[in-house]
Amino acid sequence: MTDADIRSAAEYFAALKRRPIIKVVETETIPKTGPSRLFYVRSSDGGVEPLGQRIAEMPDDVNQFELRDPRATFTAYVPVGSLAKGEALAKTGGSGVTTPCSLCHGPDLKGVDAVPAIAGRSPTYIMRQLYEFQHGGRSGTASAPMKQTVEKLSQDDMIALAAYVSSLDP
């Protein structure tokens, strides 16, 4: 490829608009789950189970997901109250628990320069990243600002932040 080809490809992909693929639902119970390869899916036996204090993210169509269809959508079940709590933490910092996400990720959380977009991302992905920043799994120089940002967050705070951020349009 020539430099012009690479530039053209980069411009094309940069211009693509992200679309929402995750629906966040607050609930106390979720469809009963079971494993499907490396992912949890709705159990073929039906039924429900308690969600507890976790995020359960499942593909809406298992076959579409397993075929790696880029149009596959997901439902993320989160504890009741997570969206409001996450919004308060993300927008205000929760009275010193953290800092407002918009300070680095931009007013709509769609990223600024080298700081990535987080709006509309998978809540399990966001949760893993927050956990890894907090516990030192992500420790590069670009990770330093996040280490301080997440140090006081509880697991419930991280679940709430992940739920809220994921509920936003990408």
Round the average pLDDT of the chain to a whole number and report it: 93
Look at residues 126, 110, 109 and name the one whose alpha carbon lies nearest to residue 14. Answer: 110
Segment 85-90 shows an average pLDDT of 96
Measured over the CA atoms of residue 147, residue 151, residue 153 and residue 159, the dihedral's sign is positive
Answer whether 121's CB lies under 8 Å from 128's CB: no
> How many angstroms separate the CA atoms of 129 and 96, rounded?
20
pLDDT confidence bin for 14, thresholds 50/70/90: confident
Please state the domain extents for the chain: 18-167
Segment 66-87 shows an average pLDDT of 95
Angle of helix 155-167 versus helix 82-92 axis, rounded to 10: 90
pLDDT beyond 90 at 139: no
Query: Could you tell me which residues come within 8 angstroms of residue 108 by beta carbon, excluding any fewer than 6 positions away?
Result: 102, 119, 168
Provide the pLDDT for residue 17. Answer: 85
* pLDDT digit string, tens, across residues 34-56: 888 778 899 888 999 999 999 99
Segment 78-101 shows an average pLDDT of 95
* pLDDT digit string, tens, across residues 57-68: 999 999 999 899
Assign a CATH topology to domain 18-167: Cytochrome Bc1 Complex; Chain D, domain 2 (1.10.760)
pLDDT confidence bin for 6, thresholds 50/70/90: very high
Adjacent-strand bridge partners of 50: 29
Answer whether 133's CB lies under 8 Å from 147's CB: yes
The structure's pTM equals 0.87
| 3-state class (DSSP) for residue 74 | strand
